[in-house]
Amino acid sequence: MAATKALLMLENFIDGKFLPCNSYIDSYDPSTGEVYCRVPDSGKEEIEAAVEAARRAFPGWSSWSPQERAQVLNKLADLLEQSLEELAQAESKDQGKTLALARTMDIPRSVQNFRFFASSILHHTSECTQMDHLGCMHYTVRTPVGIAGLISPWNLPLYLLTWKIAPAMAAGNTVIAKPSELTSVTAWMLCKLLDKAGVPPGVVNIVFGTGPRVGEALVSHPEVPLISFTGSQPTAERITQLSAPHCKKLSLELGGKNPAIIFEDANLDECIPATVRSSFANQGEICLCTSRIFVQKSIYSEFLKRFVEATRKWKVGVPSDPSASMGALISKAHLEKVRSYVKKALSEGARIQCGEGVDKLHLPARNQAGYFMLPTVITDIKDESCCMKEEIFGPVTCVTPFDSEEEVIQRANNVKYGLAATVWSRDVGRVHRVAKKLQSGLVWTNCWLIRELNLPFGGMKSSGIGREGVKDSYDFFTEVKTITVKH
Ligand SMILES: NC(=O)C1=CN([C@@H]2O[C@H](COP(=O)(O)OP(=O)(O)OC[C@H]3O[C@@H](n4cnc5c(N)ncnc54)[C@H](O)[C@@H]3O)[C@@H](O)[C@H]2O)C=CC1
Ligand SMILES: N/C(=C\C=C\C(=O)O)C(=O)O
């Protein structure tokens, strides 16, 4: 009889202790479709316990000096870095992404998030103005908000969770975090390092479970004055409704329908590999991924031929395969949703140039039930199609020709989202002009995803509210007070 492997059992982390839960949710390995882990299905009770712990820890932690908090954050970064390989293996197994990407992007960036905010907290200054004619001076002071509720998604699990935890802690808040129920493992591993790093009990509490149960309990709790959320637009709407009666501070980092605009003078040798990567990195499961490619008519045929050739070389493989560029999608339901967009495009008369339904996917026998899909390029599609309007969040991108600068700006802006755009041209004037006119929180020109953590990150329109980054995260995770002194 074949031995059954024990499932990995996660526990909540509240008040510095691992605590079991009454019920659990199955968590799947996306590369095999098998259950391999069980995640606590927490609810109101666990949130109450976490709030109590975070409330008790707040006076102590918020009175530490920035230097003392920075020391703890740096130590946490060191410990994460020492566990890089173990964390990368876990992230890849839990999420489906390639091990190579987890090793080179997810975990290094998680380390960097702690180091970055550990350093930046030492350099904030406050404002002061004078009114000499009235014998007054005015200055501002900032204080941490209190208990920060942090809700993160499944696509970049530890990367995006730490992008919220680090600035919240650095500013002196205590934290209750709820990672996605689909990818909870690396957050649980992080909990094991907190005590070693010197994080006092109750400063960071991580409560696992689903959005509707534990997520809503966190968002609705009257003692949690601030919610930072990354995820989908419909969930953001629900969070906004639940927060409204309490006037909570909200940071919402949501989806995109990101255009790449490729002018005839673009350097295609650089643009094509970068646009393959921006379309299909992490299985297309990054809110910044390109999903509409506008190409100037005079180079359309050449671009398309070369882009499809390069896409066919973007290998789909098991996450541990070092030659694979792409692993498995997050879940069966998500795979079906992404595939349904390709079917819809076909039914509208579009052409599938490569990928889904056109090419064959080769996988080992044990991965046949995994959630894999080939990178897919769609052409001959109308701007009004749902494939050109809705966030697909998978390895599907649409390519379409354009004539003029004015036309392409109008078409690129003609969606409800406004997160990230790329512009490819060697004309400096044009690059500045177009970047300014795009309704997009981020514009990368002649590159993609070069991140400057100092500067604001976030979207316009339905892509969210607020920005993250040094100044913006500090402002968000603190309350400001203006004090006037008459002398
Ligand atoms: N940053 C982004 O742009 C992301 C966008 N998405 C988009 O969302 C689609 C659906 O993915 P989901 O995992 O369902 O995203 P989601 O927005 O439902 O999940 C993100 C986080 O919110 C939590 N959540 C869900 N419902 C909640 C509620 N009512 N109250 C509080 N928290 C709640 C989830 O448990 C998870 O931790 C994807 O296909 C993609 O289009 C998903 C993840 C990240
Ligand atoms: N928020 C997301 C990506 C952020 C990337 C970054 O901060 O570098 C997302 O995909 O949801």
- At position 215, the amino acid (one-letter code) is G
With H, G, I as helix, E, B as strand and everything else as coil, classify residue 334. helix
- Strand pairing partners for 398? 292, 378
The Cα–Cα gap between 434 and 177 comes to 39
Q: Give me ligand 2 centre to Cα 141, in Å.
A: 30
Please indicate whether residue 48 is annotated as part of the active site. no
The secondary element (H helix, E strand) that includes residue 271 is helix 268-280
The three-point CA angle 478-482-484 to 5° equals: 155
From the candidates 46, 253, 285, 391, give the one annotated as an active-site residue: 253
The Cα–Cα gap between 381 and 223 comes to 49
Task: Give me the mean pLDDT over the 378-386 stretch.
Answer: 98
For 428-462, the pLDDT digits (tens) are 999 999 999 999 999 999 999 999 999 999 999 99
Atom of ligand 2 nearest to the CA of 289: 10
Mutate to test the pocket of ligand 1, among 28, 165, 220, 235 (most ligand atoms within 8 A of CB): 235
Mutate to test the pocket of ligand 2, among 159, 277, 465 (most ligand atoms within 8 A of CB): 159
Q: Is 110 in the pocket of ligand 2 (CB under 6 A)?
A: no
Is pLDDT at 373 greater than 80 in this prediction? yes
Is pLDDT at 4 greater than 70 in this prediction? no
- At position 306, the amino acid (one-letter code) is R
Task: Give me the mean pLDDT over the 452-476 stretch.
Answer: 97
For 204-227, the pLDDT digits (tens) are 999 999 999 999 999 999 999 999
The one-character DSSP state at 201 is: T
Q: Give me ligand 2 centre to Cα 404, in Å.
A: 31
Q: What is the pLDDT of residue 66?
A: 98
Is pLDDT at 59 greater than 60 in this prediction? yes
C-beta of residue 296 within 8 angstroms of C-beta of residue 262: yes
Q: Is 156 in the pocket of ligand 2 (CB under 6 A)?
A: yes
Q: Is 111 in the pocket of ligand 2 (CB under 6 A)?
A: no
C-beta of residue 458 within 8 angstroms of C-beta of residue 253: yes
Task: Give me the mean pLDDT over the 241-259 stretch.
Answer: 98
Ranges of beta strands (E only) in 193-241 are 204-206, 226-230
Is pLDDT at 89 greater than 80 in this prediction? yes
Q: What confidence category does residue 5 fall into, taking pLDDT thresholds of 50, 70 and 90?
A: confident
Token pair 């199609």 in the structure block, residue: 385
Q: Is 287 in the pocket of ligand 2 (CB under 6 A)?
A: yes
Ranges of beta strands (E only) in 232-285 are 249-253, 258-262
Residue burial 278-307, b: 16+ Cβ < 10 Å; e: rest: bbbbbbbbbbbbbbbbbbbeebbeebbebb
Q: Is 289 in the pocket of ligand 2 (CB under 6 A)?
A: no
- Strand pairing partners for 294? 261, 400
For 384-426, the pLDDT digits (tens) are 999 999 999 999 999 999 999 999 999 999 999 999 999 999 9
For 305-351, the pLDDT digits (tens) are 999 999 999 999 999 999 999 999 999 999 999 999 999 999 999 99
Q: Give me ligand 2 centre to Cα 51, in Å.
A: 27
Q: Is 72 in the pocket of ligand 2 (CB under 6 A)?
A: no
To the nearest whole percent, how much of the chain has pLDDT over 90? 99
For 131-174, the pLDDT digits (tens) are 999 999 999 999 999 999 999 999 999 999 999 999 999 999 99
Is pLDDT at 70 greater than 60 in this prediction? yes
Q: Give me ligand 2 centre to Cα 441, in Å.
A: 13
Is pLDDT at 3 greater than 80 in this prediction? no
Is pLDDT at 2 greater than 60 in this prediction? no
C-alpha radius of gyration, the chain, whole number? 23
Task: Give me the mean pLDDT over the 108-134 stretch.
Answer: 97
Q: What is the pLDDT of residue 333?
A: 98
Which residue's CA is minimally distant from atom 11 of ligand 2?
287
Which residue's CA is minimally distant from atom 8 of ligand 2?
451
The Cα–Cα gap between 111 and 79 comes to 9
Q: Give me ligand 1 centre to Cα 161, in Å.
A: 13
Q: Is 457 in the pocket of ligand 2 (CB under 6 A)?
A: yes
Is pLDDT at 1 greater than 80 in this prediction? no
**In degrees rounded to 5, what are phi and psi of residue 103?**
-70, -35
- Strand pairing partners for 412? none
Compute how many other C-beta atoms are within 10 angstroms of the C-beta atom of residue 397: 27
Q: Give me ligand 2 centre to Cα 319, in Å.
A: 20
Binding-site residues, ligand 1, Cβ < 6 A: 151-155, 178, 180-181, 210-212, 215-216, 219, 230-232, 235, 238-239, 253-255, 287, 334, 391, 393
Q: Give me ligand 1 centre to Cα 396, in Å.
A: 19
Ligand (nearest to CA of 337): 1
The Cα–Cα gap between 355 and 332 comes to 18
